[in-house]
Amino acid sequence: MLLLGSHVSFDKNKQLLKSVEEAISYGANTFMFYTGAPQNTNRSKISPEKTEEARKLMQEHHIDPNTVIVHAPYIINLANRDNLDFGIRFLTEELNRCSQLGIKYLVLHPGSHVGQGIEQGLQNIIDGLNTVFLNDHHQVKILLETMAGKGSELGKNFQELKTILDGVKDNERLSICLDTCHLNDAGYRIDEFDQVLVEFDQIIGLEKIECIHINDSKNPIGSHKDRHDNIGFGTIGFDNLLHVVNHPKLENIPKILETPYVDREFAPYREEIAMIKEGKFDNELLDKIRMAKSEN
């Protein structure tokens, strides 16, 4: 089954219920959210009542909570030794929140070594994850995201991710989230995606892919920039992204759009999801969104 959704918001008051309502409004059958602002540590207490309401609504709309994804905030950087204690503490809390919300997957950026070197950075991440898994007894999986390699970002190639997986003791709790924009910007050819999957399978194993972020890229392959574009409007292109979405080896894996808002104002997800399902690129899509939304 095609599992297709987008990033949605998580409201302080309505919490998960808000996320589910938003996903439904996009015609999605899965979704991803942050449990608070991605740039800060302010987190509200999880309300069991709101969670229960949200789960009922998911059931009514055939959204399987086992496919829903939480994204950890950017401020966690396990690769930086000087900040490791904070990262460990916050990541442990985040896993707890996932567990309270009944969510099974937490996507995490592996981290940036900030001058400490690739090898040391990877070791810091391994140490951090080993401590987190030691502290935490919930059955929530961490999905390490493939990164663009902006600045000193780690996880920009499959070897680095493999090093982390090998170093973590409890690594059955660790899997991978692919991001098409990040892969492109890191130098992987999405137009030769079958070959990318062969390489991934040889180094890590396809069974470790448990989520895919579907984004176009504003920049050419290998640019190490990480700027997402709307589906079909960037350098990767619609057909190449559609091939990823419908790839037979990636069936039943949640696919999540993290494409930019049109004019920073209008969510494009309902229209992008419909276009992907239809399988035909509409090069006027963004203009249509702009016109339809500015009328209301």
Binding footprint of Fe ion on the chain (CB under 5 A):
145, 179, 213
CB of 71 to Fe ion, least distance (A): 6
Contact 252, 210 (CB under 8 A): no
- Taking CB atoms, the residue at the shortest distance from Zn ion is 226
- Taking CB atoms, the residue at the shortest distance from Fe ion is 213
**Own/partner pairs, 93-96, CB within 8 angstroms, 24+ separation:** 93/43, 94/35, 94/70, 95/132, 95/136, 95/138, 95/140, 95/142, 96/136, 96/138
Decide which of Fe ion, Zn ion, none touches 213; Cβ closer than 5 to 8 Å per partner kind.
Fe ion
**What are the E-state strand segments in 14-148?**
30-33, 69-71, 105-108, 111-112, 141-145
CB of 164 to Fe ion, least distance (A): 16
- Rounding to the nearest 10 degrees, give the CA dihedral for residues 71, 74, 80, 84: -60
Q: Which of 153, 216, 226, 271 binds Zn ion (CB under 5 A)?
A: 226
CB of 5 to Zn ion, least distance (A): 17
CB of 222 to Fe ion, least distance (A): 18
* C-beta of 179 vs 271, nearer to Fe ion: 179
Structure tokens at 188: 């992987």
CB of 228 to Zn ion, least distance (A): 6
* C-beta of 110 vs 133, nearer to Zn ion: 110
Decide which of Zn ion, Fe ion, none touches 226; Cβ closer than 5 to 8 Å per partner kind.
Zn ion
Number of residues that bind Zn ion (CB under 5 A): 1
Under DSSP, is residue 217 helix (H, G, I), strand (E, B) or coil? strand
* C-beta of 136 vs 272, nearer to Zn ion: 272
Please tell me the distance from the alpha carbon of residue 171 to that of residue 165, in angstroms, as a whole number: 6
* C-beta of 74 vs 291, nearer to Zn ion: 74
* C-beta of 179 vs 185, nearer to Fe ion: 179
Q: Could you identify the residue written with the tokens 């809390």?
A: 93
Angle value at C-alpha 156, between 72 and 33, nearest 5 degrees: 20
- Give the interface segment with Zn ion, choosing from 76-84, 153-161, 224-232, 238-246 (CB under 5 A): 224-232
Interface with Zn ion (CB under 5 A)? 226
